[in-house]
Amino acid sequence: MARINMEQLHTFLAVVRLGGVRKAAVALNVTQPAVTARIKNLEEMLACELFDRTATGMKLTKRGELLLSHAEKFEYLSQQVEKDVVDPAGVEDHLRLGVSETVAQSWLPDLVFRLHALYPKLEIEFNVDISINLRAGLLNREIDLAILLGPVSEFSVDNIELPGIDLGWYAAADAPECRDASAYLTRPVLTYARNTRPYRELKELLFERVGPAVSLFPSTSLSACFRLVEADLGVGALPRVLAQDYVAAGRIREFDPGWVPSPLRFSASYLGEPKSHLVETAAKQAFEVAVAYQGDKNA
């Protein structure tokens, strides 16, 4: 009799937890036919059907329920071996990383460098997007680790809160001087995309302090915001860690209208089940890198 392998059990658990072959294939980063073949081979080895297949989906049979309890125990033991025994240098795996643009432009390269130092054979695929899309990708298991404006308030998600990123007000270096700096805010204000928390909070603050006539120009690209501020087409509420180089080069300058929006709060978020020592390690590394980056910038 052929022996059951962990790949088959891992696939079986993914189909059970996600409710079907398609979602399991996305989560495992394989094709649907590959998932179907693994389940079929597993059923042939055990000489029984594990799922009742209906028009509404796949439901475990009684033998499938029995296998589930054993598979979860094997999974736990496998995770413990990976954590306690396996040399990270020998881990061959794939990490799907989703990050916001603020992170991508600041400490993402440092994180990738650290992960490759820990796991030389690790293949890292990363996607830069706005937080609402990263959250959806995480919950749909299209992303393993999301570094986004968080935390993600879902029972299935574990969050590691990262250091806050301060915002500042910026205008073009050659913008006309205003005796009252708050007058700058009557100009178009360039900032984060419309369907983000920073945009919503900034809009409320501007309506309260400047009035509903204020002009907000949201953008999904922080790089574009900095370029437009530099071209004196508006002012921006933008991350200080990214603005420092522009200020040092004399391209933009900071101004103080007497208030700034609250710092951006990011989290390294990942699904708690199934547990992955690799993903948990990557999330902890993200925290350490973010702390170190902030320390370097504030030094």
Residue 271's pLDDT is what?
A: 92
When pLDDT is averaged across residues 59-86 and rounded to a whole number, the result is: 80
Residue 65 has pLDDT above 60, yes or no: yes
Residue 259's pLDDT is what?
A: 92
When pLDDT is averaged across residues 97-112 and rounded to a whole number, the result is: 94
When pLDDT is averaged across residues 145-170 and rounded to a whole number, the result is: 93
The sheet that has 235-239: what strands, in order across it? 216-218, 189-191, 235-239, 167-172, 252-255
Burial label for 135, CB within 10 Å (0-12, 13-18, 19+), is: buried
Mean pLDDT of all residues in the chain? 89
Residue 177's pLDDT is what?
A: 84
How sure is the predictor about 147, in pLDDT bands with cuts at 50, 70 and 90? very high
How sure is the predictor about 257, in pLDDT bands with cuts at 50, 70 and 90? very high
Residue 86 has pLDDT above 60, yes or no: no
> 17-41 pLDDT, tens per residue?
888 888 888 888 889 999 999 999 8
Could you tell me where the DSSP H helices lie in 47-160? 62-84, 101-104, 108-118, 131-139
Residue 83's pLDDT is what?
A: 63
Q: Tell me the pTM.
A: 0.77
Write out the residue limits of the CATH 3.40.190.10 domain(s) in the chain: 90-164+265-298, 167-255
Give the CATH superfamily of 167-255.
Periplasmic binding protein-like II (3.40.190.10)
Residue 45 has pLDDT above 70, yes or no: yes
Q: What is the Cα Rg of the chain in Å?
A: 24
Higher pLDDT, 53 or 133: 133
Domain 90-164+265-298 annotated CATH 3.40.190.10: yes
| C-alpha to C-alpha distance for 183 and 185, rounded to whole angstroms | 5
Q: Tokens in use for 15?
A: 């189909």
Write out the residue limits of the CATH 1.10.10.10 domain(s) in the chain: 6-84
CA 266 to chain centre: 9
| C-alpha to C-alpha distance for 91 and 9, rounded to whole angstroms | 19
Place of tokens 């860690």: 241
Burial label for 66, CB within 10 Å (0-12, 13-18, 19+), is: middle
The residue among 124, 120, 71 whose CA lies nearest residue 279 is 124
Q: How many residues does the chain have?
A: 299
> How many degrees, rounded to 5, is the angle at CA 127 between CA 21 and CA 288?
110
Q: What percent of the chain has pLDDT over 70?
A: 95
How sure is the predictor about 88, in pLDDT bands with cuts at 50, 70 and 90? low
Q: What is the dihedral of CA 144, 147, 153, 158, to 10 degrees?
A: 50
Residue 216 three-state SS: strand
Sign of CA dihedral 280, 108, 118, 164: negative
The CATH class that applies to domain 6-84 reads mainly alpha
Residue 85 has pLDDT above 60, yes or no: no
